[in-house]
């Protein structure tokens, strides 16, 4: 990108349409709506402390987690926009028990999966949070959409991305031909290309994991965390621990700088905590497109066949060499 050239997200998508015809039509309109949702949520996040939308909504979601007011607001924004456009047949969301069918979308081609607000425990303390999305195409226009269309493996994603409401607000996405990042210029309220063709380093020196759970991890993961903390000047160890508890924020830092994020299985949560459809698959698509890797420890995340909407999976994601090292330790321990 030439210095001083300004490319808005809309312009970028318009240019992509010539290169990748499938981005045309309703998919590009879905992007327009996600972008609008991002700006609306961004507005609410930035003012939350002033307009009484911090704190709990007073209900729990399907997964028994407390909903924050902003979780509910963000979920409504996405669904409202999709309902209006009719470009999605349905929306599946971390915050909803069931599939939300879009009233104008009976003939639409796409299915949207969202974590409308990720890192919601950070809302009340003004730390980075975000929205995650993933888009699938219905399998056939000739049959009504059913579970098979909605629960496709991550390899079938047509697009995925996230919006991070951090120091700046950024929109990072892929349609399967690399990853690009756009920063919101809030003086003109446009996302402008700031991080073209993001490639993640093959190796890094940051590890992100909730070490409070260490004693509950698989012995191979415990060994890896201890290995990260060991001394080896050549390998730049000990690595730095960085964990804020928003997947998006931890992932985004590691994507740009090189690093690894782990949310492994624990004794209490044998499938880990993070959700396959709303969190793990979109991040896995992004990281692979940036040259990194995402695994459960024994299986590529994007090859998991989902069995239910809110399914969880262990997630080990980031720089390829670091993820490989965890896999090696896990398989060594399994063989012993
Ligand atoms: P959400 O706010 O969408 O429920 O997601 C929270 C997730 C994820 O963002 C984060 O990495 C993880 O929970 C943190 O969990 P711990 O507090 O158990 O470390
Ligand atoms: Mn989340
Ligand atoms: Mn969430």
User: Which protein residue has the closest C-alpha to ligand 1 atom 6?
Assistant: 119
User: Which protein residue has the closest C-alpha to ligand 1 atom 18?
Assistant: 210
CATH T-level fold of 9-195: Fructose-1,6-Bisphosphatase; Chain A, domain 1 (3.30.540)
Q: Give the model's pLDDT for residue 50.
A: 86
Expressed in angstroms and rounded, the spacing between residue 107 Cα and the centre of ligand 1 is 35
Expressed in angstroms and rounded, the spacing between residue 116 Cα and the centre of ligand 3 is 6
pTM of the model: 0.96
User: What is the position in ligand 1's atom list of the atom closest to the CA of 212?
Assistant: 19
Expressed in angstroms and rounded, the spacing between residue 245 Cα and the centre of ligand 1 is 5
pLDDT in tens, the chain (336 residues): 666 789 999 999 988 887 776 666 889 999 999 999 999 999 999 998 888 878 888 888 777 888 889 999 999 999 999 999 999 999 999 999 999 999 999 999 999 999 999 998 899 899 999 999 999 999 988 898 999 999 999 999 999 999 999 999 999 999 999 999 999 999 999 999 999 999 999 999 999 999 999 999 999 999 999 999 999 999 999 999 999 999 999 999 999 999 999 999 998 899 999 999 999 999 999 999 999 999 999 999 999 999 999 999 999 999 999 999 999 999 987 776
Closest CA relative to residue 192, chosen from 169, 176, 175? 169
User: What is the position in ligand 1's atom list of the atom closest to the CA of 263?
Assistant: 11
Does residue 259 come out as left (phi exceeding 0), alpha (psi in the -120 to 50 range) or beta? left
Return the bridge partners of 113, or none.
92, 134
d(CA 109, CA 236): 48
Which pair of structure tokens corresponds to residue 142? Answer: 């000739």
User: What is the position in ligand 1's atom list of the atom closest to the CA of 248?
Assistant: 9
User: Which protein residue has the closest C-alpha to ligand 1 atom 14?
Assistant: 245
DSSP 292-316: -EEESSSSBGGG----STT-B--EE
**H or E segment and range at residue 11:** helix 9-19
Contact 78, 114 (CB under 8 A): yes
Which pair of structure tokens corresponds to residue 292? Answer: 């990194």
Contact 293, 322 (CB under 8 A): no
Extents of the domains making up the chain: 9-195, 206-335
Expressed in angstroms and rounded, the spacing between residue 42 Cα and the centre of ligand 2 is 17
Does residue 178 come out as left (phi exceeding 0), alpha (psi in the -120 to 50 range) or beta? left
206-335 placed in CATH 3.40.718.10: no
């Amino acid at each position: 990108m030439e210095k001083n050239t300004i490319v808005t997200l809309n312009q970028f998508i318009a240019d992509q349409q010539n290169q990748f015809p499938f981005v045309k039509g309703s998919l590009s309109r879905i992007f327009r709506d996600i972008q609008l949702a991002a700006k609306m949520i961004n507005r609410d996040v930035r003012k939350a402390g002033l307009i009484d939308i911090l704190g709990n909504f007073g209900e729990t979601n399907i997964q028994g987690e407390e909903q924050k007011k902003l979780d509910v607001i963000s979920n409504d924004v996405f669904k409202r926009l999709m309902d209006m456009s009719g470009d999605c047949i349905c929306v599946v969301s971390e915050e909803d028990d069931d599939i939300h069918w879009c009233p104008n979308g009976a003939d639409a081609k796409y299915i949207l999966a969202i974590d409308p607000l990720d890192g919601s425990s950070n809302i009340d303390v003004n730390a980075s949070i975000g929205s995650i999305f993933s888009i699938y195409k219905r399998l056939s226009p000739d049959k009504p959409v059913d579970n098979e269309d909605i629960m496709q493996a991550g390899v079938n994603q047509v697009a995925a991305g996230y919006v991070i409401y951090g120091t700046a607000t950024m929109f990072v996405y892929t349609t399967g031909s690399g990853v690009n990042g756009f920063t919101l210029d809030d003086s003109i309220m446009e996302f402008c290309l700031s991080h073209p063709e993001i490639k993640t380093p093959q190796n890094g020196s940051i590890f992100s994991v909730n070490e409070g759970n260490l004693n509950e991890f698989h012995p191979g993961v415990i060994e890896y965390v201890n290995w990260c903390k060991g001394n080896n000047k050549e390998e730049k160890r000990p690595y730095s621990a960085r964990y804020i508890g928003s997947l998006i924020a931890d992932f985004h830092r590691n994507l740009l700088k090189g690093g690894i994020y782990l949310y492994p299985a624990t004794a209490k949560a044998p499938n880990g905590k993070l959700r396959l459809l709303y969190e793990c698959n979109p991040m896995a698509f992004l990281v692979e497109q940036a040259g990194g890797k995402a695994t459960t420890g024994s299986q590529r995340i994007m090859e998991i066949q989902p069995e239910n909407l809110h399914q969880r999976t262990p997630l080990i994601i980031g720089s390829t060499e670091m993820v490989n090292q965890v896999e090696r330790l896990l398989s060594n321990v399994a063989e012993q």
